[in-house]
Structure 1
Amino acid sequence: MFSALTKSLASKTTFSEIQTNVLAGLTVGVIALPLSMALAIASGVPPQHGLYTAIVAGIIIAIGGGSKVNVSGPTAAFVVVLLPIVHQFGIGGLLVSGFMAGIILIMMGLGKFGKLIEIVPYPVIIGFTAGIGVVIGTIQIKDFLGLDIESLDGDYLEKLILIVNSLPSIDWQELLIGGLTIVTLLLWPRIRSKIPGHLIALLLGSVTAWLLSYFSQDFSIATIGSRFHYEINGITGNGIPAILPSFEWPWNLPGADGTPIGLSFELIKLLLPSAITIAILGSLESLLCAVVADGMTGKKHNSNDELIGQGIGNLIAPLFGGIPATAAIARTAASIKAGSTSPLASVVHGLFILGSILALTPLLAYIPMASMAALLLVVAWNMSEPKHFIRTIKIAPRDDVIVLILCFLLTVLFDMTVAVAVGIGLASMLFIRRSITITNTTKIEKNHASYGEMPDSIAIYDINGSLFFGSAQKALQAISTVTPNLRVVILDMTEVNMLDMSAIVTMESIKESLAKQHIYLIISNLHERMAAKLRRAGISDKPDEIQFSGTVAEAVVMANKML
């Protein structure tokens, strides 16, 4: 816990390094400001909640996590998970589920799950991210085209059908501003400017919309100021309230019916699947981001501390109106390129957004919703990584392609809860199957050069690989089939590196079967750790049934004496 901060404080930091980290924090703050608002809107909540997330979670995770340079906040990966929660349980239910996810993340970190999360198969991750990108992109079509749709409810296919049926209601004014924004986003990288492209694109879209509305009364489009309203202490306003995040128990916030959602065991049961999904997805995104950051900086993160830091951040952020957060790869990469070397950059990024709430909220209200949708369309495209998706389909083994496509379809057509469970479950099953195929038993020829000529009454079996619940039966079944004149079976277990309870039970069964046929069993060169497991199970030296030997050559000598 707090390992990134501890390492940074322990190292000698110069004034120049502090200055560089402050500038990196300001740079990534400029990037995170519009993204935080856009991702909150895409998740179904007012934009200020995205800003509160970047402030509270961004600062706390930077201080408490295991990566020096990770920048955390709302991310596109969460949109497909959070939007259904908001529709069903309101913002109160969303923040309660985020609070629960924080507890789960802390438990995962304390349970040393960090390394386990890092080995999630590549096809599973690509399938998830591509599916998330498709869903986010589809949702943004409504605001990008200005379609006359009150709300996009239902599953993905219902939303898609509703969008297609609403295409005749395209608003050319919204499309003009959205198109201008997205063209700027696509062309700006060619200029190779240090100014973030999405900042220029939103600024151009906002100024153009304001000028057109100023010179023409007929020009009117939806903006953050016209779409979102707030009421605080009897004071109402449009857009984003210019107030700091304030403490409030998340269960006191409204549910889907507009009344406080409350806290009950029934609510916890209903939100638990979503909380688990948020925790798993958040851990995947954060540790993947940390691995990418390690490659860019040459440093090494602490995966378990990073999970604990993410958990603390997600535990505290909902108390101040923040939605679930995780490390963001794009923002982290931008921070590193700007010179970030310590958590100070992420802290400064949060403080910059805090200052922006107090100073820039009147201006933020002029940002068009079509421009925000254009920004998210580009984010969705980048997140879906079509080149990697297509390349994996072309070159990956058939099993991996099946996992990829299944995870993609489940994410798009159902939800992330189902996709996470089925995707990781299927990947685990495929791993077990592959492990079974590489575990085998080979019968040694009786004229083997190392052991000399052996009589037909002695059989040697060479067992290779892990003996566990999936492979034990397959690897050991050949031993059960014996010839009439067989009197001694030798098992060469030099290459056996794992033995679980299923394998022990199978060994017991083989021992008993051979004993009934008056056939001796010699287990050769089994690692002491695994031999101790067999002894605890009652499979120990019995001269008339089973013995252990150090080498196969020694076992052959023992077998000849038995005969």
Structure 2
Amino acid sequence: MAPTPEVDDRPRDPQGRAWYQPGWLVKLNLAPFRPRIVESLQDYDRERLWRDVGAGLTVGIVALPLAMAFAIASGVKPEAGLFTAIIAGFLISALGGSQVQIGGPAGAFIVIVYGIVERYGLANLLISTVLAGGILFAMGLFRLGVLVRYIPVSIVIGFTNGIAVLIALSQVKDLLGLHPASMPADFVGQLRTLWACREQFNPYALGLGLTTVAGLFFWPRLFSPSGIVPLALHGTRGFRVAARMPGPMMVLITMGAITALLDLPVATIGSKFGGIPQSLPGLVWPEFSWEGIRHLFMPTFTIALLGAIESLLCARVADNMTDFRRHDPNQELMAQGIANMVTPFFGGIPATGTIARTVTNVRAGASSPVAGMVHALALLLVVLVAAPLASHVPLAVLAGILLFIAWNMGEWREFFKLRQYNYTYRTILVGTFVLTVVVDLTVAVEVGLVMACVFFIYRMSTLFKLQPLPAAGADHNLPHEPAGVAVYRLYGSLFFGAVGKVEELPDQLLPGTRVLVLEMQRLISIDTSGLDALVQLRRTLERRDVALLLCEVNDQPLSLIRRSGQDKLFGERNLLPDLPAALTRARALCEATASAFT
């Protein structure tokens, strides 16, 4: 006789893979390391290559002034932003889980990076970035990419608008031509410093900055069908070439040339930083110490959290703009983690997905991550060939570019639409915004999440109801409950935030009640606190000589009752399949009680 095959009854995931090894040793369900470029290069042809090369070169032109501006605003040298865009941009595209996302230094990091440099120094920024990269990689490896989606949109809008305000404030000194000895990281301190340096105001710097903002605003509008350029010129070669030139690059070249030709007395990259080195970055090895790492826990957590949010939000924007397969959030986080672990050793700063450059990449016709890799190589070529030209770029022009980015970064219309939303949404959004600007981004996100959780618990508790059924027989074609029987129907979810309604139930019963029936057909779930509330309800009723019957208990509550062993406390005879059976049982209990007193 053939032996009976063993049945593998180990718990499995939705793909049919066992979660546990023999011997019930836990097997971690880790995310596979599968960069999107492997899939994208299948059936890759020359046409797609030329599209990616063109898109990469376009994004590289856009990224050049932004990388330098983000670095300077973050309190580091401009080459740190360029090296970050080159190294991190290449790694994020080559190893990421998105088809078209572009990585590099981002405006969202300006406030965080500046604060870390101001408080802990550049060496500790590099350490914090490496540690944040490790956290990001672990988040992706353990499939935590989906958790970022659980952050409420009110918090995202609140801290995004707050960061936009702080970015704009950080550029006021260069916009006005001020040169304070040091600039504090906090909002109030910056305002005081700017006011103390007001006598250093430089009208030439202000003129360059405002002209830059105006140029960025009007440049794309010049080439629209309703623009000021005559329609007769729209089909010319010169018009088509000019229309493809990014606004930031145009104002950078134009304002830089005007400054050099007129010899305007304004600060430039060359006068403040000595220019940009025309060479590859050297290896930087920061000094690691447990004492230093211990103080960097919150900055590290902030970089990791903000990097995860920004990169996955950017990837979702790209998904909505294209017909490519949706991004893999876990692979994207692993790529972001590797990029942030490698870049600091070459003098780089934190990197993440960038919406402006990703949108440019999509609109330029990118079809694979090759475009992002080309963008990084294009920036490397610029550094090796044209770095000396960057010395003539005025800081006021970079300030104007960042002011324009900050304005576009904020979702200001949400403030005007607050009346359309409930009190919870308004409180979380405004609270997160104010805390981001006045206190700190980390505190803002923490408090915002706590407020969101508290409001959610309160809202869910209001959905739980205990409704008396005084005429169950008339409503359900059932026998009328005898005197001394109270019937209540439970709705929603009985969890720790709603147990107060169950605790108040004994005081709501009429005098002479002998049996309480809880009809639980519409109770979809219960947690351990809810079960404990039912247990305490039964004990309270028992002291008052009132029996408790549960009927039509759904699978999840019934499973918890049985797994916890509380079915023995309630008694199997008191767990009824439906309301008619419960009323029959209640009638029998009332009659037994009545006969005991006669």
Q: Which residue of 2 aligns with 1:223?
A: 268
SS at match of 2:393: coil
Match of 1:186 among 211, 214, 217: 217
Match of 1:473 among 488, 493, 500: 500
Identical-residue share of aligned pairs (%): 38
SS at match of 2:244: coil
> CA offsets per residue over residues 499-542 of structure 1, 9 Å max, x none?
22221221221122223333332323333343222223221146
Contact (CA 8 Å) 2:524, 2:556: kept in 1 or not? Answer: no
Gaps of 5+ in 1: 214-218, 229-237, 252-261
Distance 1:245 1:148 in 2: 28
Q: Which residue of 1 aligns with 2:36?
A: 4
Q: Which residue of 1 aligns with 2:304?
A: 279
The amino acid across from 1:71 in the alignment is: I
Q: Which residue of 1 aligns with 2:393?
A: 367
> CA offsets per residue over residues 67-99 of structure 1, 9 Å max, x none?
222111111111111101001122111111111
Q: Which residue of 2 aligns with 1:140?
A: 171
Q: 1:404 to 1:455 in 2, by over 3 A?
A: same
Distance 1:7 1:512 in 2: 62
5 Å matches for 1:303-382?
303-382=329-408
Q: Which residue of 2 aligns with 1:233?
A: none
The amino acid across from 2:391 in the alignment is: A
Q: Which residue of 1 aligns with 2:574?
A: 547
Larger radius of gyration: 2
Q: Which residue of 2 aligns with 1:408?
A: 433
Q: Which residue of 2 aligns with 1:440?
A: 465
Match of 2:74 among 17, 33, 43: 43
Match of 1:419 among 444, 447, 460: 444
Deviation at 1:108, TM superposition (A): 2.3
Q: 1:101 to 1:479 in 2, by over 3 A?
A: farther
Contact (CA 8 Å) 2:502, 2:537: kept in 1 or not? Answer: no
Q: Which residue of 2 aligns with 1:113?
A: 144
Deviation at 1:476, TM superposition (A): 5.3
Match of 1:488 among 515, 524, 531: 515
The amino acid across from 2:468 in the alignment is: K
Deviation at 1:124, TM superposition (A): 1.1
SS at match of 2:44: coil
Q: Which residue of 1 aligns with 2:233?
A: none
TM-score, normalised with respect to structure 2: 0.85
1:98 matched to 2:162 = no
Contact (CA 8 Å) 1:473, 1:503: kept in 2 or not? Answer: no
Contact (CA 8 Å) 1:488, 1:520: kept in 2 or not? Answer: yes
Contact (CA 8 Å) 1:26, 1:349: kept in 2 or not? Answer: yes
Moved more, 379-388 or 493-502: 493-502
Distance 1:89 1:266 in 2: 12
Distance 1:380 1:544 in 2: 65
Distance 1:480 1:290 in 2: 54
SS at match of 2:574: strand
> CA offsets per residue over residues 209-230 of structure 1, 9 Å max, x none?
01011xxxxx3321111111xx
Deviation at 1:466, TM superposition (A): 2.0
The amino acid across from 2:353 in the alignment is: A
Deviation at 1:543, TM superposition (A): 7.3
Q: 1:19 to 1:264 in 2, by over 3 A?
A: same
The amino acid across from 1:405 in the alignment is: V
Gaps of 5+ in 2: 1-32, 224-242, 591-598
SS at match of 2:491: strand
Deviation at 1:479, TM superposition (A): 5.2
Contact (CA 8 Å) 1:142, 1:163: kept in 2 or not? Answer: yes
Q: 1:554 to 1:291 in 2, by over 3 A?
A: farther
Match of 2:158 among 127, 139, 142: 127
Q: Which residue of 2 aligns with 1:195?
A: 245
Distance 1:312 1:492 in 2: 55
Moved more, 428-437 or 445-454: 445-454
Q: Which residue of 1 aligns with 2:549?
A: 522
Aligned Cα root-mean-square deviation (Å) = 2.0
Deviation at 1:306, TM superposition (A): 2.0
Distance 1:297 1:64 in 2: 20
Deviation at 1:561, TM superposition (A): 4.0
The amino acid across from 1:402 in the alignment is: T
How many matched pairs?
Answer: 536
Moved more, 381-390 or 406-415: 381-390
> CA offsets per residue over residues 350-398 of structure 1, 9 Å max, x none?
111111111110111211111111111111111122223332x232212
